């Protein structure tokens, strides 16, 4: 069996229930705690190639120093580097953050735009980040595809794609729009805790009966 248009409603219902007992993704927590599209954007940048247990504390340290683009520009790249370390590529990310903040001040009076195509014009903001800012920062429907969403959507058998971008476009076609906002957080949580990249916990997976287990060799 595989996840399909016919049973995606059941799968989402089960996942909603199961993830309540699991830690939420760091960017989702930032969105709920601070209700700031800008801080969601910054935490998303910090989260790239970095584990959540590192991302959230680094975000909190940085937000303590600066929580708006204007205040962020009062910091030097070295100051940002020190507080966000040890996130991955922290030196590059510090420069990226300052560049985006300058763009926000120059072009949008310090406000984060609510438009995917406009967000993509900023150096350092890719499709994953832009879509996540829309969903977690603005509560707008968008399809955010990271490594977990790409992997699990294919493992389910719900999509058959080779790249995250192809997964995004396919999900835009087949995933009911009411699920767009929550789909990323559900699958990221599931991927971090149950549907691991290597040796997933299939024996305790609440949606195993729906899953095609595509590409799964060893499992627990």
Q: Do 70 and 110 form a contact (C-beta atoms < 8 A)?
A: yes
Q: Do 2 and 156 form a contact (C-beta atoms < 8 A)?
A: yes
Give the 3-state secondary structure of residue 156. Answer: helix
Closest of 194, 199, 191 to residue 215, by C-alpha = 199
Q: How many residues in total does the chain contain?
A: 220
- pLDDT score at 111: 98
Specify the CATH architecture of the domain 8-23+142-210.
Answer: Orthogonal Bundle (1.10)
Superfamily of domain 26-138: Hypothetical protein; domain 2 (1.10.340.30)
- Give per-residue pLDDT as tens, 9-29: 999 999 999 999 999 999 999
- Give per-residue pLDDT as tens, 118-167: 999 999 999 999 999 999 999 999 999 999 999 999 999 999 999 999 99
Report the alpha-carbon distance of residue 107 to residue 195 in Å, rounded.
41
Structure tokens at 148: 């977990």
Residue extent(s) of CATH 1.10.340.30 domains in the chain = 26-138
Report the alpha-carbon distance of residue 110 to residue 107 in Å, rounded.
8
Query: How is residue 108 annotated by DSSP?
Result: H
- Give per-residue pLDDT as tens, 71-115: 999 999 999 999 999 999 999 999 999 999 999 999 999 999 999
- Residue carrying structure tokens 């735009």: 113
- Give per-residue pLDDT as tens, 163-196: 999 999 999 999 999 999 999 999 999 999 999 9
């Amino acid at each position: 069996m595989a996840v399909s248009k016919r049973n995606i409603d059941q799968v989402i219902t089960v996942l909603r229930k199961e993830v309540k007992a699991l830690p939420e993704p760091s960017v989702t927590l930032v969105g709920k705690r601070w209700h700031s599209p800008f801080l969601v954007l910054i935490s998303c940048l910090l989260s790239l190639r970095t584990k959540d247990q590192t991302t959230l504390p680094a975000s909190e340290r940085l937000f303590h120093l600066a929580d708006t683009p204007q205040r962020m520009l009062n910091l030097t790249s070295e100051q940002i580097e020190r507080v966000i370390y040890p996130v991955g590529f922290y030196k590059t990310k510090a420069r990226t953050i300052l560049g985006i903040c300058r763009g926000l001040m120059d072009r949008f009076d310090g406000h984060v735009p609510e438009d995917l195509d406009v967000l993509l014009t900023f150096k350092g903001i890719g499709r994953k980040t832009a879509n996540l800012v829309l969903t977690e920062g603005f509560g707008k429907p968008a399809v955010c595809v990271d490594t977990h969403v790409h992997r699990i959507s294919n493992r389910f058998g719900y999509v058959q794609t080779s790249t995250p971008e192809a997964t995004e476009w396919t999900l835009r076609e087949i995933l009911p729009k009411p699920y767009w906002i929550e789909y990323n957080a559900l699958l990221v949580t599931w991927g971090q805790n149950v549907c691991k990249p290597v040796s997933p916990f299939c024996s305790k997976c609440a949606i195993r009966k729906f899953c095609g287990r595509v590409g799964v060799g060893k499992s627990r």
